[in-house]
């Protein structure tokens, strides 16, 4: 016991205290973003090992708290959830960004740079929160 604590002293404590129950739905304690994202399709399974961002969206096991998400991913999610730029379901993030800037809604420029840095259209960062879910 004490050795375990010692080994984690300089690591993140959240990895020790995180509790996940296999197969159970995400409870209200988790932040709103992941709850909403993982609310659909309880039976969904990922075949291959997905990227951390994708894991974050999936149900039950692998649900992460907001602190675990990178800054970039948080910004991308915030962009998805802002209704001012239009519905996000069924459209890729880059297309939605281009459309928002076409209509003069001034979407944040950094969202675009993040997506382009991650590989542009078609990359994992380009797939919105509702990709393959709706």
Kindly tell me which residue out of 25, 39, 90, 119 binds other proteins, with binding defined by CB under 8 A: 90
The C-alpha angle with vertex 30 and arms to 43 and 113, in degrees rounded to 5, equals 85
Rounded-to-integer distance, Cα 87 and Cα 96, Å: 8
For 115, other C-beta atoms within 10 Å of its C-beta total: 23
The answer to whether residue 95 forms part of the interface with other proteins (CB under 8 A) is yes
The answer to whether residue 86 forms part of the interface with other proteins (CB under 8 A) is yes
Rounded-to-integer distance, Cα 31 and Cα 66, Å: 7
Residue 83 CB, shortest distance to other proteins, in Å, is: 6
The answer to whether residue 89 forms part of the interface with other proteins (CB under 8 A) is yes
The answer to whether residue 19 forms part of the interface with other proteins (CB under 8 A) is no
Encoded tokens for 42: 């309880």
Per CB under 8 A, which region of 18-26, 56-64, 81-89, 109-117 contacts other proteins? 81-89
The answer to whether residue 55 forms part of the interface with other proteins (CB under 8 A) is no
Rounded-to-integer distance, Cα 109 and Cα 123, Å: 18
Rounded-to-integer distance, Cα 64 and Cα 106, Å: 30
Residue 31 CB, shortest distance to other proteins, in Å, is: 23
Please report, as ranges, the residues that interact with other proteins according to CB under 8 A. Answer: 83-84, 86-87, 89-91, 95, 98-99, 102-103, 105, 134
């Amino acid at each position: 016991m004490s050795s375990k604590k010692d080994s984690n002293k300089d690591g993140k404590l959240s990895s020790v205290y995180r509790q996940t129950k296999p197969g159970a739905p995400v409870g209200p304690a988790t932040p709103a973003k992941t709850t909403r994202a993982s609310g659909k399709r309880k039976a969904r399974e990922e075949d291959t090992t997905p990227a951390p961002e994708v894991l974050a969206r999936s149900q039950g096991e692998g649900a992460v708290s907001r602190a675990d998400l990178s800054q970039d991913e948080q910004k991308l999610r915030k962009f998805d959830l802002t209704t001012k730029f239009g519905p996000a379901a069924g459209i890729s993030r880059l297309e939605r960004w281009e459309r928002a800037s076409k209509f003069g809604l001034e979407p944040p420029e950094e969202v675009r740079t993040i997506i382009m840095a991650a590989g542009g259209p078609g990359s994992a960062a380009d797939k919105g929160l509702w990709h393959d879910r709706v």
